[in-house]
């Protein structure tokens, strides 16, 4: 099993018009499906200072069939979109190479994707598919998870819960706003178990997000 982080231009996936008209937009895609066409990346969290401009860009973007739903908050907006057939075709072309889209973010006019492949041959087929379509391809990370059943970000569910709970309760702030004893009680585990989850979770998170084991095939 391989996990790859790649950067693709918007014309290789979606939102080319939006990238041109709202160049400083930042998007995080949510509810990502592995092998579905219609419902891959349907929910977009957008950070921008002018949400009216974002909405107008989305409505004028040929890669979006329609905006299904939306909501605005203080510093971000939520959009549920239905992608145009061309975008669905592109996604199908990528995932039929046995790749699963695990994460998708858009910033600085490019998509950053994290994908999972069963073998190196499947990753190579995906890469060649992108290049054959005439798109640039930049690999930023490629690694084999040490534990196959870990989550895509290389964290077990227990490790993720411990880290998220710690962040939410201010454990990593200076000064700390909670203690390991309080967190352990919150998660209904022992102090020793919590310490182990935080230690191993932090290590796995660094290994999965801050290390690059193979960038020799960058294009």
pLDDT of residue 137: 84
3-class DSSP state for residue 111? strand
| Phi/psi of residue 104, nearest 5 degrees | -150, 125
pTM recorded for the entire structure: 0.63
pLDDT of residue 216: 37
Pair 79, 46: CB distance under 8 Å: yes
| Phi/psi of residue 74, nearest 5 degrees | -60, -50
Instruction: Compute the distance between CA of residue 51 and CA of residue 46 in angstroms, rounded to an integer.
Output: 8
pLDDT of residue 219: 41
**What contacts 73, CB < 8 A, 6 or more positions away?**
none
pLDDT of residue 40: 67
Instruction: Compute the distance between CA of residue 121 and CA of residue 117 in angstroms, rounded to an integer.
Output: 9
Walk along the chain (219 residues) in steps of 10 and give the mean pLDDT of each run.
90 95 91 52 87 95 94 89 89 73 89 88 88 88 65 67 86 89 90 87 75 43
pLDDT of residue 209: 64
pLDDT of residue 128: 87
């Amino acid at each position: 099993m391989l996990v790859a982080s790649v950067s693709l231009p918007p014309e290789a996936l979606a939102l080319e018009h939006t990238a041109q008209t709202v160049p400083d937009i930042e998007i995080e895609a949510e509810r990502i499906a592995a092998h579905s066409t219609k419902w891959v990346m349907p929910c977009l969290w957008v950070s921008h200072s002018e949400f009216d401009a974002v909405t107008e860009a989305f409505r004028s973007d040929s890669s979006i069939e329609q905006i299904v739903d939306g909501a605005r908050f203080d510093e971000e907006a939520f959009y549920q979109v239905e992608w145009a057939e061309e975008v669905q075709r592109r996604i199908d072309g990528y995932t039929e190479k046995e790749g699963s889209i695990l994460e998708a973010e858009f910033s600085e006019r490019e998509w950053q994707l994290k994908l999972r492949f069963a073998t190196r041959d499947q990753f190579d087929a995906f890469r060649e598919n992108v290049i054959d379509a005439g798109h640039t391809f930049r690999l930023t990370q490629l690694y084999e998870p040490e534990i196959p059943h870990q989550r895509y970000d290389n964290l077990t569910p227990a490790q993720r819960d411990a880290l998220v709970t710690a962040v939410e309760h201010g454990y990593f702030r200076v000064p700390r706003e909670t203690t390991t004893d309080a967190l352990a009680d919150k998660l209904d585990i022992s102090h020793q178990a919590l310490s182990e989850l935080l230690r191993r979770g932090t290590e796995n998170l660094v290994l999965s997000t801050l290390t690059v084991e193979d960038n020799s095939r960058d294009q």
